[in-house]
Structure 1
């Protein structure tokens, strides 16, 4: 298991914002991200502890906060965990526990959990396959999305199911050197 490197909250948030702006929005990996970013409706929260059980509690607290705030003010939350779950397999195991906890807390049908990890790897791909970059962020990141907002975005984007395929094509054209040139990894926003 990899030992986590201690990263400050300010650095983790800055790196994540850079990744969102240059990769997610810049490459149009998520056609829905730009609008909420421009309107300031993304909440960034950084969890600094290496304790993964506390991360589930932080996720539930962020889900409750998202529920209490109007979508016009905060449409989505990125919970960034730079100092824990640095191993992708451990992160994947954690996701199953986190989703069960959110369900027990009553968020089914209201919020969805998406995830990003610096070592993300699709089943059946090699670790260095560029297509894995579609789900790679500088740090382990839990993304809480309102299901109502997802439904509205999908209605407005008639070919939503084609996003994944288009992202794969984009990254294959960009290639590993192009991804590297984006400089969206940890510590890039210095």
Structure 2
């Protein structure tokens, strides 16, 4: 059980120090400040168990008001440690969202310790924007995305700003912010 608590704490540190601290997601600070970002750690060790855990979390989000829990990060430390397998799993998630009628209500975004954008090399600093301590699944309410997009002056510019921000990090900053990568 201590390991699960450590995983949750590491995920929270990543959220606060990297995602919010570097302003990679300009929409995360407010819900975090108000305790509306849930972090769940699943013990799933295979894809079927992981889907069950994701279903449980989406059902929980369905049952809660957005003012109580806006979004959830699900850490999956015991499954999909290979990035290619993780990335392919999103095809299953898309089908699954349609099957359960959650398409248009929720989106699932991904973060992974070995995240690598298409047409980049694994050591490209831009990949740091989506590198997390564990395979993560970000369950996002579509309504929340719609409000964020409507309120931000330049949503399309966020990825380029994020890549510039993480590319500008010095070696010490990288080791401090990403100890699981640069230990």
Count matched residues: 182
Aligned-residue offset at 1:21: 0.6
Answer yes or no: is the 8 Å Cα contact 1:19–1:184 preserved in 2: no
1:3 corresponds to: none
- TM-score w.r.t. structure 1 length? 0.90
2:38 corresponds to: 43
Structure 1 runs, 4 residues or longer, greater than 4 Å off: none
1:4 corresponds to: none
Tell me: CA distance 1:184–1:71, structure 2 relative to 1, closer, same or farther (3 Å): farther
Give CA-to-partner distance per residue, 1:151-178, whole Å, 9 cap, x none.
1111111111110010011011114543
From 129, 149, 153, the equivalent of 1:134 is 129
Does residue 53 (structure 1) correspond to residue 48 (structure 2)? The answer is yes
From 17, 24, 49, the equivalent of 1:29 is 24
- TM-score w.r.t. structure 2 length? 0.94
Which structure has more relative contact order (CA 8 Å, sep 6+)? It is 1
C-alpha distance in 1 between matches for 2:33 and 2:179? 19
Aligned-residue offset at 1:185: 2.7
Which piece of structure 1 moves more, 122-131 or 19-28? Answer: 122-131
From 154, 162, 183, the equivalent of 2:157 is 162
C-alpha distance in 1 between matches for 2:172 and 2:90? 30
Answer yes or no: is the 8 Å Cα contact 1:75–1:145 preserved in 2: yes
Answer yes or no: is the 8 Å Cα contact 1:117–1:137 preserved in 2: yes
Tell me: CA distance 1:21–1:184, structure 2 relative to 1, closer, same or farther (3 Å): farther
Aligned-residue offset at 1:48: 1.4
2:111 corresponds to: 116
2:73 corresponds to: 78
Secondary structure of 2:74's counterpart equals strand
From 138, 141, 149, the equivalent of 1:146 is 141
Structure 2 residues without counterparts, runs of 5 or longer: none
Does residue 173 (structure 1) correspond to residue 165 (structure 2)? The answer is no
Q: CA RMSD in A?
A: 1.8
Which piece of structure 1 moves more, 102-111 or 171-180? Answer: 171-180
Answer yes or no: is the 8 Å Cα contact 2:44–2:53 preserved in 1: no
Aligned-residue offset at 1:51: 1.7
Tell me: CA distance 1:35–1:99, structure 2 relative to 1, closer, same or farther (3 Å): same
Secondary structure of 1:71's counterpart equals coil
C-alpha distance in 1 between matches for 2:165 and 2:70? 27
